[in-house]
Amino acid sequence: MPQVPSYWSTLTTPLIRQNPVTLQILGICSALAVTTSLVTALTMSVSLTVVLTLAAGLVSVIRRHIPDTIRLIVQIVIVASLVIVIDQILQAYFAEISRALSVYVGLITTNCLVLGRTEAYARHHPPLPAMVDAFGNGLGYSLILIVIGGLRELLGKGQLLGAQVLPLADAGGWFTPLSLMLLAPSAFFLLGLLVWAVRSLYPAQIEQPEYAPAQLKSPAE
Amino acid sequence: MTGLWDIFVTAAFVDNMPLTLFLGLCTFLALSKRPEAALGLGVAMTGVLGFTVPLNYLIYQGLLAPGAWVWAGLPDLDLSYLALIAFIGVIAAAVQLLEMVLDRFFPKIHAAFGVFLPLLTVQCAILAGSLFMVERSYNLAESAAFGFGSGLGFALAVAMLGAIRKRLVYADLPAGLRGLGIAFLLAGLMSLGFASFAQMAVAQ
């Protein structure tokens, strides 16, 4: 990140270049679990972005008052309280979606993305940049979720947001749904391919081989 | 007894935490680069899950569930919305305890974990274990079986992925796929394998 970040670059770098999911491996747990359809992916994205932005703001406001030793507990309590609020709102107004998301809304508490951003950024910055950064990261996360959720719903059921987009073979159309797309493995495959695509776009992100094969380095390994 | 065994096997294989439910993926991918660390993580996960899920069960039933305060003359008190904070507190304490025990008795293992041990606090799989326990309304024995089963499943998966990734140094991968990308694809393939366990469960 640049030394004097303008709000715009703080907001846009996490979208693709510094994407929290593909580069930093943060928050993938929920990213994969809720992406069987676009609706759940969208709900999850909105919930996470709201929680992340508010949590970053709150942590940043009280950043000078948190003793260093107990900061993790303070941050987790703040995040957990926000998640409880979101969870109650979802249960009250969107009961269907809330049931589909199961425990994954509660799991926003332990989403590494939230804690990662509050710990790494909000703790050292004034509220406004912290919230902008959190919002940008939330959007980056949402982008991945929406891409994967959209692809899985489109290829798995031929639908988008519950509306039939591709005519199914059963109903006289040409599209045979790939039911594998609705199962767990396809989420891994899609995200793996997505990571590949992003890294081909930005070769600087390619990981160096961690260790060379033994016989090339030293005979006695 | 068969009920408990069923829950155990289901939690370990059919509903495998990282591969089927996508829980705890962050540490699953980050710590599986070397088999030794992966095995250690698996053992720690089994311990923490097997310990916290029954404990959280007791706390939830004793203090938070609707009607838990009847004896105090408060039959309408429903504190279940506080479950999230209570669970996180218990997990943080359990992890802290584990860290102190390891530091005191097994300093080598403690050093091997490094920064990842405290991170178990924010491991989604551990919190999810407790949340699933509430959602599926297990009793005490069942929640213990569930905790151990899912911990064991996690250990199995992470050890396998660690072993595969170690062999991968000999593979000539496309540059963009190296590291994270191939780990995802591998996890996908393993997930396919574990999906066949679900078929076995149905066949029974």
Dig out the tokens for A78 from the structure.
Answer: 């703040």
CA nearest to A114 within chain B: B122
CA nearest to B121 within chain A: A110
Q: What value of ipTM does the predicted structure carry?
A: 0.74
Do the Cβ atoms of A210 and B181 come within 8 Å? no
Q: State which amino acid sits at residue A28.
A: I
Q: What is the DSSP string of B10-28?
A: IIIIIT-HHHHS--SHHHH
Do the Cβ atoms of A76 and B131 come within 8 Å? no
Dig out the tokens for B77 from the structure.
Answer: 């008190």
Is this model's pTM higher than 0.95 or not?
Answer: no
Do the Cβ atoms of B181 and A81 come within 8 Å? no
Distance CA B131, CA B189 (A): 28
End-to-end CA distance of chain B: 17
Q: How far is B133 from chain A (nearest CA, A)?
A: 10
A196 or A26, which is more confident: A196
Count other Cβ atoms within 10 Å, centred on residue A68. 7
Distance CA A115, CA A123 (A): 11
With contacts defined as CB-CB under 8 Å, which chain B residues touch A207?
178-180
- What's the confidence (pLDDT) of residue A217? 46
What is the sign of the dihedral through the CA atoms of B108, B113, B115 and B119? Answer: negative
Mean pLDDT of all residues in chain A? 77
Distance CA A133, CA A30 (A): 20
The DSSP secondary-structure symbol of B178 reads T
Percentages helix, strand, coil for chain B, rounded to the nearest 5? 80, 0, 20
- What's the confidence (pLDDT) of residue B201? 62
Helices B83-105 and B124-135 cross at an angle (nearest 10°) of 130
B174 or A86, which is more confident: A86
Q: What is the DSSP string of A138-156?
A: HHHHHHHHHHHHHHHHHHH
Do the Cβ atoms of B26 and A29 come within 8 Å? yes
Decide if pLDDT at A218 tops 50. Answer: no
Note whether B90 contacts A: Cβ–Cβ < 8 A. Answer: no
Give B82-136 pLDDT, tens digit per residue. 777 888 888 888 888 888 887 888 787 777 666 667 777 777 788 888 888 888 8
Q: How far is B176 from chain A (nearest CA, A)?
A: 5
Q: List the one residue out of A198, A22, A183, A41 whose CA is nearest residue B189.
A: A183
Q: List the one residue out of A45, A44, A73 whose CA is nearest residue A59.
A: A73
Decide if pLDDT at A111 tops 80. Answer: no
Query: Out of A53-62, A97-106, B45-54, which region has the weakest mean confidence (pLDDT)?
Result: A97-106
Query: Out of A62-66, A193-197, B64-68, B179-183, which region has the weakest mean confidence (pLDDT)?
Result: B64-68
Dig out the tokens for A98 from the structure.
Answer: 């809330």
Distance CA B175, CA B148 (A): 39
A88 closest CB neighbour out of B30, B81, B192:
B81
Dig out the tokens for A23 from the structure.
Answer: 């580069």
Note whether B136 contacts A: Cβ–Cβ < 8 A. Answer: no
A12 or B192, which is more confident: B192
Note whether B80 contacts A: Cβ–Cβ < 8 A. Answer: no
With contacts defined as CB-CB under 8 Å, which chain B residues touch A189?
184-185, 188
Distance CA A13, CA A3 (A): 13
Give kind and range of the element (H or E) at residue A34: none
Residue A110: partners with Cβ closer than 8 Å, 6 or more residues away:
B88, B121, B122, B123, B124, B126, B127
Q: Are the beta carbons of B64 and B80 closer than 8 angstroms?
A: yes
Do the Cβ atoms of B175 and A28 come within 8 Å? no
Longest Cα–Cα distance in chain A: 66
Do the Cβ atoms of A199 and B92 come within 8 Å? no
Give B27-81 pLDDT, tens digit per residue. 787 777 777 777 878 888 888 888 888 888 888 888 877 766 777 766 677 777 7
Q: How far is A194 from chain B (nearest CA, A)?
A: 8
Q: State which amino acid sits at residue A38.
A: L
Q: Are the beta carbons of A194 and A22 closer than 8 angstroms?
A: yes
Do the Cβ atoms of A110 and B127 come within 8 Å? yes
- What's the confidence (pLDDT) of residue B1? 55
End-to-end CA distance of chain A: 39
Q: What is the DSSP string of A162-206?
A: TEE-SPBTTTTSSBPP-GGGGSHHHHHHHHHHHHHHHHHHSGGGP
Count other Cβ atoms within 10 Å, centred on residue B36. 12
Decide if pLDDT at B178 tops 60. Answer: yes
Give A159-212 pLDDT, tens digit per residue. 777 677 777 766 666 777 777 777 778 888 888 888 888 888 777 766 665 555
Give me the mean pLDDT over the B1-7 stretch: 75
Q: How far is A98 from chain B (nearest CA, A)?
A: 13
Give kind and range of the element (H or E) at residue A160: strand A159-160
pLDDT band of B168, cuts 50, 70, 90: confident
Q: Are the beta carbons of B53 and B144 closer than 8 angstroms?
A: yes
- What's the confidence (pLDDT) of residue B99? 80
Among A40, A110, A182, which would you mutate to test the B interface (most chain B Cβ atoms within 10 Å of its Cβ)?
A110
Report the percent of chain A where pLDDT is more than 70: 84
CA nearest to B188 within chain A: A185
Do the Cβ atoms of B175 and A183 come within 8 Å? no
Distance CA B47, CA A11 (A): 41
Dig out the tokens for A21 from the structure.
Answer: 């999911």
CA nearest to B90 within chain A: A73
Q: How far is A145 from chain B (nearest CA, A)?
A: 14
Decide if pLDDT at A216 tops 60. Answer: no
CA nearest to B172 within chain A: A209
Give A143-162 pLDDT, tens digit per residue. 888 888 888 888 877 777 76
Q: Are the beta carbons of B63 and B168 closer than 8 angstroms?
A: no
